[in-house]
A = this chain, B = another copy of it.
């Protein structure tokens, strides 16, 4: 049987586990009728929850894992636990029993365990975290969101390659455009690392899709489909954008409860406002992917609900059914031979 429809699930990770996880999987099982879920966690707790589901129980198998990686646990401690639901779910990918793993648990532990157990893909220097975000021209992909606080130009080029493939698969775009986040759009802006990464990308097999440097406001403007940056800047930009959306949302709530006229206005406009809320709903962007590991690893937000977790499962299923990792390996090979050709062409005669 092909394992490309099998997802391993850490059923005990996250603030509302296991209830929100099981409820989210029940939603996901409707959307992905061919998917199979391997659930890892406390059997005594999980079995009665799964028994109550309509579809999930037919699409899932339960695997007992007695320990839990808690939210405040240090990655080094999590690494020593052999029987945690998170570890066992990752092991399932390593043992080829599942094509990917999803967890709403401790991000640091998930990254550390994934790197130790699954290892980084051949040809990729460092994994990166990617997710989608809203823009005026539809969803965009941004990476790295925090795994690599310092990056060299080769890392950024690899992020661009992985982000491009991620956008193809998750956003369904045939030729996603790519931008490097900088403090200005002119060629000379930024630092040596950014300028070197831009030079390599321009000459690369995805050079035609490379837009060049972009600025912070280009993220929500939708200037490009894929925003590439180091993990420090990406993490700050993602959280700053989320914070700005939250501020406006909170202010709007205050506006529409500020008096009887405003309340009446809200009642009339609420249908249209609901579409706005849905578009900016953080649950719609839940499911960050650790790209560049031997296996698909998806991190759900720890505080999300069933609907948010189901969205993260959507992302994971997109990644595994489209065989993201094999396609990245092909892209890397093409990139390397192109760079090799450029370097040979550019080297002086001896």
Which of A153-161, A262-270, A326-334 binds B?
A262-270
A244–B261 CA distance with the chains assembled, in angstroms: 28
| Copies per assembly | 2
Whether A269 lies near B276 (C-beta < 8 A) is: no
A: contact size bracket = 35 or more
Residue of B nearest to A259 (CB): B272
CB neighbours (8 Å) of A81 from chain B are none
Q: Assess whether A150 is interfacial by the CB under 8 Å rule.
A: yes
A220: min CB distance to chain B, Å = 4
Interface residues of chain A, those whose CB is within 8 Å of chain B, are: 134-136, 146, 149-150, 181, 183, 190-191, 215-221, 229, 231-233, 235-248, 250-252, 255-256, 258-259, 261-262, 264-273, 275-276, 279-280
Q: List 28 A-B contacts (CB under 8 A).
A: A135-B247, A136-B250, A149-B190, A150-B191, A183-B235, A191-B232, A215-B236, A216-B242, A217-B243, A220-B246, A221-B243, A221-B247, A237-B240, A240-B240, A241-B244, A251-B280, A252-B276, A255-B273, A256-B269, A258-B272, A259-B271, A264-B265, A264-B268, A265-B266, A265-B267, A265-B268, A265-B269, A265-B272
